[in-house]
Amino acid sequence: MIRLSARDIGKKGWEAKSGFGVLNLANALAKAPPPADPLEPNDNAEFVNGTRGPKAGFVFSGKKKARLTALIDAFEDPSDVYRIKVRAHSRAKVTVKPRFGNPQLEVFSSNARTVIGTRRHRVTRSRHSGSHTERATIRNRGGKSHVFYVVVSVQRGGTLDAGYGMTVRKP
């Protein structure tokens, strides 16, 4: 909360001379805490697919609408990766609504070993820039259910932090 409530000075964002800005204790105490992110660690595919630790459950498996809130941070937690299952001959619609900052949305196939800094195995992404609601539709034209990785990350050139709400549902 101290970092998120600091008064920025100098160039916008973090800089070596002033860090995140001037401490503002009153702002820190008045600021609502960020949403809990109980699905951590989920910073890359390896943390949710069972390679490093237990395999994460699905946040969406094709039936009920899934909703969650989370926080990403360019330095400490630059991306959140979620596993979803899309049933055969079906679609899933992902919506990421910023609460603050500029989250970016991408979707990768389950063949991806990493989802950081690559386009390999990327299925789709939102094309918005800035602080807009991000949307992506995932289509499974195959005869079996498929697993996908939904990735929410901090946009390059955007803010250092972003809070968001994500919804995954059948269209």
User: According to the model, what pLDDT value does residue 148 have?
Assistant: 97
The domains of the chain are located at 1-33, 34-169
Q: What is the pLDDT of residues 12-63, one digit of tens each?
A: 777 788 887 898 889 888 887 766 676 888 999 999 999 988 899 999 998 8
- Distance CA(125)–CA(96), nearest Å, equals 11
- As a whole number of angstroms, the distance between CA 127 and CA 32 comes to 30
Report how far residue 98's alpha carbon sits from residue 163's, in angstroms, rounded to the nearest whole number: 6
In this structure, the number of other CB atoms found within 10 A of the CB of residue 145 comes to 13
> Is the domain 34-169 a CATH 3.40.50.970 member?
no
Phi-psi region of 143 (alpha: psi -120 to 50; beta: other; left: phi over 0): alpha
pLDDT tens digits for range 53-100: 889 999 999 889 999 999 998 888 899 999 999 999 999 999 999 988
Confidence bin at 114 (pLDDT 50/70/90): very high
pLDDT value of position 56: 92
Question: Are the beta carbons of 62 and 96 closer than 8 angstroms?
Answer: no
Global confidence as pTM: 0.82
